[in-house]
Amino acid sequence: MHRDLGLFVVADGMGGHAAGEVASRLAVSTLVEELAASPLEDRTPATALATLRAAVLAANRAILERAARDPRCAGMGTTLTALLTTGDGSSLCLAHVGDSRAYRLSGDALEQLTTDQTWVQEQVALGRLTPEEARYHPAAAVLTMALGTTTEPDIQTWTGSARAGDVFLLCSDGLTGPVEDAVLQATLAKPAPVEELAAELVAAANGAGGPDNISVIVLRAIA
């Protein structure tokens, strides 16, 4: 989390022998480097998304280059869900690859801002699986897209603005695998400090027997 850059990011690595962690760290450090080179105060709604996209592509190249140099890192990859604010904080943009997620709670409405790039999500879109079947499917973790696996990643994007009180959640599938949206919504609606909400979500995932590592960022827009 890099507040001073207006950048909030979750990256969930994959690959054996700790290579997944190499990929996720490299993705975040490259994103931070790239965005540190473009001053926050110059970032407008018109430029923010292009800046973020370019940084994600740089992160992808960095992972591919490392994997090519180091056989222990062959085949590594990572999800990336990154939220970037404009200089004045009025607008937000998202870039997303993989099965981490971003949500916005606005009033009572919880909206998932990203679509999982997974095999089961494709089956849901085709009407072959229900969302409930997808959640508990043995292949639920199979990604169709990740950084470090292709020279041309399919980067989903979203741009929008935040109303005062809107709550944003960025998280890895270690949270959304075991914890249902209704629990996310009820937790994010609580008028508690965001750090407490994040801790409560992690506890819910652990309580539900979540075996995976869990990354959670909770943000609340202020007036």
Query: Applying CB under 5 A, which part among 7-15, 28-36, 47-55, 60-68 lies near Ca ion?
Result: 7-15
Q: How far apart are CA 149 and CA 138, in angstroms?
A: 22
Site track 185-214 with Ca ion (rule: CB under 5 A), x = hit = ---------------------------x--
CA atoms within 13 A on the CB side of 51: 27
Phi, psi of 171 (to 5 degrees): -160, 160
Is 116 among the residues that bind Ca ion (CB under 5 A)? no
Among residues 51, 173, 198, 221, the one that binds Ca ion under rule CB under 5 A: 173
> Which CA distances in Å does 176 have to 53, 79, 135?
25, 14, 9
Between 153 and 174, CB nearer to Ca ion: 174
Between 56 and 146, CB nearer to Ca ion: 146
Query: Applying CB under 5 A, which part among 35-43, 132-140, 151-159, 166-174 lies near Ca ion?
Result: 166-174
Between 12 and 166, CB nearer to Ca ion: 12
Between 122 and 212, CB nearer to Ca ion: 212
Residues 68-107 binding Ca ion (CB under 5 A) are none
Between 13 and 153, CB nearer to Ca ion: 13
Where would I find the beta strands (DSSP E) of the chain? Answer: 7-10, 13-14, 77-78, 80-85, 91-97, 101-106, 109-112, 156-161, 167-171, 216-220
Q: Please report how close the Cβ of residue 141 comes to Ca ion at its closest, in angstroms.
A: 7
> Which CA distances in Å does 157 have to 92, 97, 196?
11, 9, 28
Q: How far apart are CA 148 and CA 94, in angstroms?
A: 19
Task: Give residues in contact with Ca ion (CB under 5 A).
Answer: 12, 172-173, 212
